[in-house]
């Protein structure tokens, strides 16, 4: 797929037939670009990199190597799903890197959100480069760039995890979905047979749960974020809200309050639930969740998540609040 400008006459991919036609065309273009050379891809498990990986697997098979870096800030079950889908089901060459300690040790005691982001970004690049340098014969770097990324950054994927790596490692880019919008990427993902929860994965910040464990990250509080988020996602899916609400997640701030559990005094964290709707992410409004569902989520969090004794609901719109807390 050459060029970074979408043809105004390009038909929007809105159904399975158009998605299949796109897949066939991209397989031809990838084969023409790559030939028998090898491609390396940073696979996060998000829809963009996952669709990119699935397309590359169809086109070049074992000449693709995927690297999945677990930085300890992913949602519950995500690393396992990446391994199951790509290694076990699609037969990809997948390198799984457990870098949890490397990331969390570097983040210990760091409170400033921007500093946390910089540390996460730098270590990701360092880990990815380290893995890339172990491999021989890599000529291309696959990236799940999509068209809004190009529009927002004027041709540079400024917020992509591996920004800057192609120049440093001498790789040429392969970007098979770079002229597609997010809804089109999802159409293609479904046509490729990827799991629905991967295709419709919610927007997720680059630093992952690191910005939802507010302030300096501790492993116990990070686990409280991960477990409460899993409960929220499960209950929203059961209630049919997972496709209705634009974004929903939990936050655990670094404050404690007094509570009572089993007749004993506790001094533990609150979990804050945030559920918002937006079209452009510039403004956002809260979702009015039925109290019966909120009560169910509250009870599960208080009973199942260690170190928590309160559940709060964030009623703030954007503006004046932002979508994330950091």
What's the CA gap between 273 and 271, in Å, rounded? 7
∠ CA 90-94-95, rounded to 5°: 165
Residues in the chain: 326
At residue 145, the pLDDT reads 87
At residue 287, the pLDDT reads 95
Q: E strand or H helix at 93, and its extent?
A: strand 93-98
- HEC profile of 241-289: CCCCCCEEEEECCCCCEEEEECCEEEEEEEEEEEEEECCCCCCEEECCC
* Helices and strands (H, E) in the chain, number of each type: 11, 10
At residue 156, the pLDDT reads 40
Q: Contact, 219 vs 227, CB < 8 A? A: no
- The pLDDT confidence band at residue 161, using thresholds 50, 70 and 90, is very low
Bond before 213 cis per omega within 30 degrees: no
Evaluate if residue 148 carries a pLDDT over 60: yes
∠ CA 303-247-18, rounded to 5°: 130
At residue 160, the pLDDT reads 45
At residue 201, the pLDDT reads 83
Q: 180, 168, 169: which is closest to 136 by C-alpha?
A: 169
∠ CA 123-175-141, rounded to 5°: 45
If you average pLDDT over residues 65-87, what whole number do you get?
94
At residue 155, the pLDDT reads 41
If you average pLDDT over residues 42-62, what whole number do you get?
94
Whether the domain at 16-199 and the domain at 212-313 fall into the same CATH topology? no
Evaluate if residue 212 carries a pLDDT over 50: yes
Evaluate if residue 154 carries a pLDDT over 60: no
Mean pLDDT over each residue of the chain, to the nearest integer: 91
**Chain centroid offset of residue 70 CA:** 12
If you average pLDDT over residues 22-41, what whole number do you get?
96
Sequence spans of domains, the chain: 16-199, 212-313
pLDDT in tens, 89-127: 989 999 999 999 999 999 999 999 999 999 998 999 899
Evaluate if residue 61 carries a pLDDT over 80: yes
At residue 159, the pLDDT reads 45
Topology at the third CATH level for domain 16-199 = Rossmann fold (3.40.50)
Complete DSSP assignment for 188-224 = HHHHTT--HHHHTPPP--TTGGGGTS-SS--HHHHHH
Evaluate if residue 153 carries a pLDDT over 50: yes
At residue 169, the pLDDT reads 67
At residue 158, the pLDDT reads 42
pLDDT in tens, 236-293: 999 999 989 999 999 999 999 999 999 999 999 999 999 999 877 788 999 999 999 9
Q: Contact, 42 vs 166, CB < 8 A? A: no
What's the CA gap between 3 and 287, in Å, rounded? 40
Backbone angles phi and psi of 253, in degrees to 5: -75, 160
Backbone angles phi and psi of 164, in degrees to 5: 95, -20
What does the CA dihedral 73, 75, 81, 83 come to, rounded to 10 degrees?
10
% of the chain with per-residue pLDDT over 90: 76
Complete DSSP assignment for 113-135 = HHHHHHHHHHHHHHHHHHHHTTS
Topology at the third CATH level for domain 212-313 = GMP Synthetase; Chain A, domain 3 (3.30.300)
pLDDT in tens, 171-203: 899 999 999 998 999 999 999 999 988 898 887
What's the CA gap between 93 and 301, in Å, rounded? 38
């Amino acid at each position: 797929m050459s060029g970074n400008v979408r043809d105004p006459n390009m038909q929007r991919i809105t159904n399975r037939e158009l998605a299949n036609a796109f897949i066939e065309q991209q397989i031809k273009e990838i084969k023409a670009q790559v030939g028998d050379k090898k491609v390396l891809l940073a696979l996060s498990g998000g829809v963009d990199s996952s669709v990119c990986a699935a397309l590359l697997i169809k086109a070049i098979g074992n000449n693709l190597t995927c690297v999945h870096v677990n930085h300890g800030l992913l949602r519950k079950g995500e690393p396992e799903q990446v391994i199951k889908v790509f290694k076990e089901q699609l037969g990809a060459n997948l390198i799984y890197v457990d870098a949890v300690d490397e990331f969390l040790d570097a983040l210990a005691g760091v409170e400033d959100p921007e500093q946390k982001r910089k540390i996460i970004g730098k270590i990701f690049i360092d880990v990815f480069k380290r893995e890339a340098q172990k491999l021989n014969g890599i000529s291309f770097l696959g990236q799940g760039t999509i068209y809004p990324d190009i529009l927002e950054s004027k041709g540079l994927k400024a917020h992509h995890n591996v920004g800057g790596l192609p120049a440093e490692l001498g790789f040429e880019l392969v970007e098979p979905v770079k002229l597609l919008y997010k809804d089109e990427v999802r159409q293609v993902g479904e046509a490729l047979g990827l799991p629905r929860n991967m295709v419709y994965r919610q927007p997720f910040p680059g630093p992952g749960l690191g910005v939802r464990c507010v302030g300096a990250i501790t492993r116990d509080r990070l686990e409280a974020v991960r477990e409460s988020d899993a409960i929220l996602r499960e209950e929203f899916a059961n209630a049919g809200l997972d496709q209705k609400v634009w974004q929903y997640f939990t936050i655990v701030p670094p404050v404690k309050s007094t509570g009572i559990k089993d007749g004993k005094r506790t001094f533990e964290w609150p979990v804050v639930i945030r559920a918002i709707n937006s079209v452009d992410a510039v403004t956002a409004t809260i979702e009015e969740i039925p109290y019966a569902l909120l009560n169910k989520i509250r009870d599960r969090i208080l009973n199942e998540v260690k170190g928590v004794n309160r559940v709060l609901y964030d009623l703030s719109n954007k503006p004046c609040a932002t979508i994330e807390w950091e």
